[in-house]
A and B are shown apart, each in its own frame.
Chain A
C-alpha cells in the first residue's frame, strides 16, 4: 500500500537526493532518518549526502508484483553498497534480471516509485542502474 501525501512529503528530500544519517561518534552511516545510532547508541546524528555510486551487494528477482508495479515485472531488488560502505535496499532498473550480477557497479537513478491513485500524489525516489558508459 502506498503512503499518503504527508508521509511522501516528509521523506521526499531524503529519497530524491539520497540523504542519509551519520553518527558523529562512531561514523556509522545509514539511509533514512535516525535519532539513535544502531551501532553505538549515540544520539549525535547528522544528515549527510550519501555517494551516488556503489555496487550490487546482493539481489533477488521479484515475480510476485505489488499493486504499484501495475503488472510490469519481474523486477530486481538489491542491497546496494555505496562507495562509503553504506548499504541500502533499492530497485535496479535499466537492467534485465538475467544481466544483474553481485559486484556490478551501479549509479543513482531518479524514478517514479508509485502513486496514491490516478488522482493522487505521485511518489518519486531513488533507484539504481548500471553505470552509463561514457565515450
Chain B
C-alpha cells in the first residue's frame, strides 16, 4: 500500500509503561470456579493490573515521558502532533492527548486527537504521525498506544485484559533515529468479532468467532500484503510482532505466515502481562527494540476488532545502541511486580459497585 523509497521516516524515541500489580490467572479462575484446564489454550500465566490511581491517561503520560527520555534531542515545544490510540479513555468526550500535551510541555500550536479502533488505535496514531512527518506538516509527532483493557467480570476476557502501553516520537529527516519505516499496509472489513456499545461498561465478543474470520484473516492479509509490496519473505525479517490477544494466537499466526518461534518469542508479552489492547503490539515492538541490533528488520502487525490490521516494516538503526539505556526497558517493567488477589484486583478496577 505504501513503500517508502527513502530511510528518512524514523522513530526517534520510544518508551513504555506497565503498572506494577499482577494477578495470576488461577486467582481469577478460583473466583469464578473456572477450570484451569479450560484456560490452558490461552497460554497466559498472569496479567498486569492497573493501580487504584492509574488509568489510560496516566499510562499514556508515563509512556510518553519515557519516549522523550530516549529522544533527548527533541524539545517538546517542537512536537507538532500528539495522537493517542485507546479503547479505554477515562473521558468519553475530552481527548487523552490534551492531558498528555500539558504533561510533557507541548506547545499550544499542536494537533491533538484520540483514535479508537479496538486494539489498533495505537498503530493508527503511528500512521498519522508518519504521514504528517513525511508531508512536512510536523517536525515531530508523538504517537501513543495505551489501554486499561476492560473485561466483563467472569468473562474469558478477564484472563487476558490488562494494562500498559507505549509511545513513539516519529519524525522525517530529523533527530537521531533508533529505526526507520520501510513500508506500511492496512486492511479493514466489517467483522463484528468484538464490540462495546455506547454507554455500556464492558465489551462483548463473538467467542471463537474472534479467531479465524477476525484475528487470523486480517493479520495474515496485512502481513502478506506488506511483504508482497516490499517484495520480501519471512526470511527477510528478524522479528515479527503481531497483536497479542493471548499467548497462543501470535505464535500460531507467525507459524502460518512462515515465521519460526524464534522470531516471535522476543516480542511476546501476553503470557506474562496479558493484552494491553491498543498497547499490545506496540509494546511488543518496544520489547524487540530493547534487544535488536542495528540493521535488523521487524514486522509489526496490529489487529483491531471490528476489524482491521496495520502492518509495518521497521529497520533498526545505529541510534538504538545510544538510546535504549536512557529509559526503563520493557523487561524492567515486567520484572517490577506485586501480586494481588481477585478481591484487590476487582477493587482497583472498581468492578465492585459501592
Query: Interface-forming stretch among A20-28, A30-38, A77-85, A109-117?
Result: A109-117
Check if B336 is an interface residue, CB within 8 A of chain A. yes
Q: Are B336 and A132 in contact (CB under 8 A)?
A: yes
Q: Are B90 and A135 in contact (CB under 8 A)?
A: no
Knowing A109-B62, A122-B91 are in contact, say whether A132-B333 is a contact too (CB < 8 A).
Answer: yes
Check if A93 is an interface residue, CB within 8 A of chain B. yes
Check if A98 is an interface residue, CB within 8 A of chain B. no
What is the distance, in angstroms, from A134's C-beta to the closest C-beta of chain B? 5
Knowing A122-B90, A124-B57 are in contact, say whether A110-B336 is a contact too (CB < 8 A).
Answer: no
Q: Which A residues from 21 to 73 make CB contacts under 8 A with B?
A: 70-72
Give complex CA distance A135, B330 in Å.
10
Check if B99 is an interface residue, CB within 8 A of chain A. yes
Q: Are B99 and A112 in contact (CB under 8 A)?
A: no
Q: Are B325 and A134 in contact (CB under 8 A)?
A: yes
Residue on A with the closest CB to B66?
A: A132
What is the distance, in angstroms, from B39's C-beta to the closest C-beta of chain A? 28
Residue on B with the closest CB to A91?
A: B53
Number of A-B contacts (CB under 8 A): 66
Check if B329 is an interface residue, CB within 8 A of chain A. yes
Q: Are A94 and B51 in contact (CB under 8 A)?
A: yes
Residue on B with the closest CB to A69?
A: B52
Given the complex, which residues of A lie within 8 Å of B338, measured CB to CB? Answer: 94, 96
Q: A-side binding surface: helix, strand, loop or mixed?
A: mixed
Question: Which one of B53, B61, B332 contacts A127 once the chains associate, using CB atoms below 8 Å?
Answer: B53
Tally of contact residues, B, Cβ under 8 A: 31
Residue on A with the closest CB to B336?
A: A132
Q: Which A residues from 5 to 22 make CB contacts under 8 A with B?
A: 12-13, 16-17
Check if B236 is an interface residue, CB within 8 A of chain A. no
What is the distance, in angstroms, from A61's C-beta to the closest C-beta of chain B? 16
Check if B218 is an interface residue, CB within 8 A of chain A. no
Given the complex, which residues of A lie within 8 Å of B20, measured CB to CB? Answer: 94
Q: Are B53 and A16 in contact (CB under 8 A)?
A: no
Give complex CA distance A93, B58 in Å.
13
What is the distance, in angstroms, from B70's C-beta to the closest C-beta of chain A? 12
Give complex CA distance A72, B338 in Å.
16
Question: Which one of B65, B328, B329 contacts A110 once the chains associate, using CB atoms below 8 Å?
Answer: B65
Given the complex, which residues of B lie within 8 Å of A127, measured CB to CB? Answer: 53
Question: Which one of A71, A110, A132, A134 contacts B58 once the chains associate, using CB atoms below 8 Å?
Answer: A110
Contact with A along B50-71 (1 / 0, CB 8 A): 0111110110011001000000
Q: Are A12 and B102 in contact (CB under 8 A)?
A: yes
> Which residues on B are within 8 Å of A, measured CB to CB?
20, 51-55, 57-58, 61-62, 65, 90-91, 99, 102-105, 325, 328-329, 331-333, 335-336, 338, 347-348, 350, 354
